[in-house]
């Protein structure tokens, strides 16, 4: 499809997708998946053209049992020079494990709401920033780059609507610590495009758009509209998960992330280049769907799978 130039002016020409299925996707699955199946899933995703994949987390193994084998997953990955693999790290203990595994990128994670932060990482927002300070310093010393997440940027499952001032304040503090990118999360999928426009626009009054990524869950079907709002603000990095796997165990009711296949379909139709092959993502999703034994929510994935029959 060739779109009139006038219509396309307001959108970026290229975007980057950060695939979070192996971490955000699998962390919510109760059936424990073997390390070798996780590694195979990541290897299939690595054949698609993705440049960044979040593969696991180094959190307390009892808090997220599915990812307790993060150390072994990272050690078993085949190196792909064009792909950055990353993992969540909540504290120095997590960083120690990350360094031993050999991973070259980590993500620290906090939130714009106090109650969610406490339930998720057992810290206040201030304590989380204090905890991350030496984590970021040590990581950078070890040539490990660091991303920062701010969860519950629009709506918190415990506190309701979140003020845009909180989001800017936490994002700015993370940048001061030395993270190179901030991913703003709609953890429960409750935001609509007007919330995204308002909050992200406000954040962009102080933080350059090149530093911002957006992370949408699709609980109520708003994720693609939210991406469109982000594109109109010039944001070029989007997190999504293969097949729409996902959720956060500490955000009741949150469902899967925006599906990578559904995001790619929209971007392709808008002639926005992500450099990722939708059929290859669908192959990876098909593999993991068979392993977890339930139909994944991505509409494009299901279309691709039924047309291949
Ligand atoms: P805590 O219990 O307060 O930790 O948990 P602590 O520092 O008091 O330590 C207690 C024990 O845990 C100690 O062991 C530590 O060594 C051990 P002991 O001395 O009692 O034997 N420990 C660890 N072990 C392994 N790895 C570690 C680690 N840290 C401490 N890293 C903690 C605090 C942060 C660790 C815990 O609350 C936790 O692991 N939380 C993780 C929650 C999580 O993973 N949530 C999902 C990810 S966030 C998300 O999905 C949102 C996102 O997608 C964006 C969005 O959608 O908005 C990113
Ligand atoms: Mg998430």
Query: pLDDT tens-digit profile of 111-138?
Result: 999 999 999 999 999 999 999 999 999 9
Nearest to 174 by CA among 188, 185, 160, 163: 185
Pocket mutation for ligand 1, best pick of 59, 166, 223, 254 (most atoms within 8 Å of C-beta) = 59
Inform me whether the pLDDT recorded for 147 exceeds 80: yes
Residues near 303 by Cβ (< 8 Å), separated by ≥ 6? none
pLDDT at 6 over 70: no
Confidence of residue 277 (pLDDT cuts 50, 70, 90): very high
pLDDT over threshold 60, residue 177 = yes
| Averaged confidence pLDDT in the chain | 95
Identify whether 156 is a catalytic site residue: no
- Between the CA of residue 67 and those of 23, 62, 120, 131, what are the distances in Å? 8, 9, 15, 21
Q: pLDDT-derived band of residue 255, with 50, 70 and 90 as boundaries? A: confident
SS3 (DSSP) at 150: strand
Assess whether the C-beta atom of 257 lies below 6 angstroms from ligand 1: no
C-alpha 197 to ligand 2 mean position (Å): 19
Q: What's the pLDDT at 294?
A: 86
The yes-or-no verdict on residue 5 having pLDDT over 70 is no
pLDDT tens sequence across 71-113: 999 999 999 999 999 999 999 999 999 999 999 999 999 999 9
Does 151 contact ligand 1 (Cβ within 6 A)? yes
Q: Quote the radius of gyration of the chain (alpha carbons, Å).
A: 18
Q: 5 CA to middle of ligand 2, Å?
A: 34
Q: Is the pLDDT of residue 1 over 60?
A: no
pLDDT tens for 199-232 read: 999 999 999 999 999 999 999 999 999 999 999 9
Alpha-carbon span 11 to 261, nearest angstrom = 20
3-state SS, residue 226: helix
The correct answer on CATH 3.30.930.10 for the domain covering 12-307 is no
How many angstroms is it from 118 CA to the middle of ligand 1? 11
Ligand 1 atom 24, closest CA? 60
């Amino acid at each position: 499809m060739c779109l009139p130039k006038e219509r396309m002016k307001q959108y970026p020409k290229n975007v980057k997708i950060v695939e979070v299925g192996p971490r955000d996707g699998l962390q919510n699955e109760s059936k424990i998946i073997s390390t070798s199946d996780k590694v195979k899933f990541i290897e299939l995703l690595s054949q698609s053209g993705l440049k960044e994949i979040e593969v696991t987390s180094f959190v307390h193994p009892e808090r997220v049992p599915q990812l307790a084998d993060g150390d072994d997953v990272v050690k078993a990955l085949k190196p792909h020079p064009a792909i950055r693999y990353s993992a969540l790290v909540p504290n120095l203990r997590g960083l120690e494990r990350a360094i031993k595994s050999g991973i070259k990128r980590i993500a620290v994670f906090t939130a714009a709401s106090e109650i969610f932060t406490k339930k998720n990482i057992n810290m206040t927002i201030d304590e989380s920033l204090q905890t991350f300070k030496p984590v970021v310093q040590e990581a950078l010393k070890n040539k490990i780059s660091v991303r920062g997440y701010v969860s519950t940027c629009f709506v918190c499952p415990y506190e309701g609507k979140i003020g845009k001032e909180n989001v800017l304040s936490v994002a700015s503090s993370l940048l001061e610590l030395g993270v190179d990118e901030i991913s703003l999360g709609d953890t429960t999928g409750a935001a609509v495009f007007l919330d995204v426009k308002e909050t992200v626009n406000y954040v962009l009054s102080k933080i350059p758009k090149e530093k911002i990524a957006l992370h949408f869950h699709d609980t109520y079907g708003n994720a693609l509209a939210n991406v469109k709002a982000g594109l109109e603000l010039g944001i070029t990095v989007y997190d999504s998960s293969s097949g729409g796997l996902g959720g956060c165990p500490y955000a009741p009711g949150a469902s899967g992330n925006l599906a990578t296949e559904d995001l790619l379909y929209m971007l392709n139709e808008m002639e926005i280049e992500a450099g990722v092959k939708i059929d290859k993502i669908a192959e990876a999703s098909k593999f993991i769907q068979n392993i977890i034994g339930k139909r994944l929510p991505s509409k494009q994935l299901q279309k691709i799978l039924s047309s291949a029959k």
